[in-house]
Amino acid sequence: MRGKAMRDRVQKKLKAWNKCEKCPLHVFRRNVVLGSGDVPADVFFVGISHGRSEELLRVPMTGRPFRLLWNAMEAATEMADLSSSPSWYMTNLLGCRSVSRLKTPGKVVDREPFKPEIDKCWPRLESIYHIIKPKAIIALGALP
């Protein structure tokens, strides 16, 4: 299975997670951020959890640190004189933003995810991994 059929398979699996209520994070979420990239992919980037901008855009790894990473990868590909760039897929351990509610109504602050939250979201990550079948996994951030 290649190309469009694989992308459709990933999208079908991901849609099932849009209404997930397996952990308390669903109470605070605006959007589920599931993943983005090539299917299949050579490289699988896995972060911890997304932030405010990713939640609004529904795309993981769109903040400033990741723009720097993507620019560095592009430059490295050019310097290595590769005939084509490696394909990649990016996602996070969690599909929901890991936040704590502040005393101010409607205000939240990002935090590290708790182990039970990761455990509940792990099957999503694992199912994506088995479809993507990457050659390499790159963990980003302070993974627990």
Are 95 and 20 in contact by the 8 Å Cβ rule? The answer is yes
Tell me the CATH number at 129: 3.40.470.10
pLDDT tens column, 7-26: 777 777 777 788 889 989 88
Which domain covers residue 66, as residue numbers? 3-139
How many CB atoms within 10 Å of residue 36?
A: 17
For residue 66, tell me if it sits in a domain: yes
pLDDT computed for residue 115 by the predictor: 92
Measured distance CA(42)–CA(23) in Å, rounded = 31
Name the strand (E) or helix (H) holding 65. Answer: helix 64-79
pLDDT tens column, 48-61: 888 888 888 888 88
Measured distance CA(46)–CA(142) in Å, rounded = 11
Instruction: Per residue of the chain (144 residues), give pLDDT as tens.
Output: 566 777 777 777 777 788 889 989 888 888 888 888 888 899 999 988 888 888 888 888 887 777 787 788 777 777 776 667 788 899 999 989 888 876 667 677 888 899 999 999 999 899 889 988 999 999 988 755
For residue 144, tell me if it sits in a domain: no
Number of domains in the chain: 1
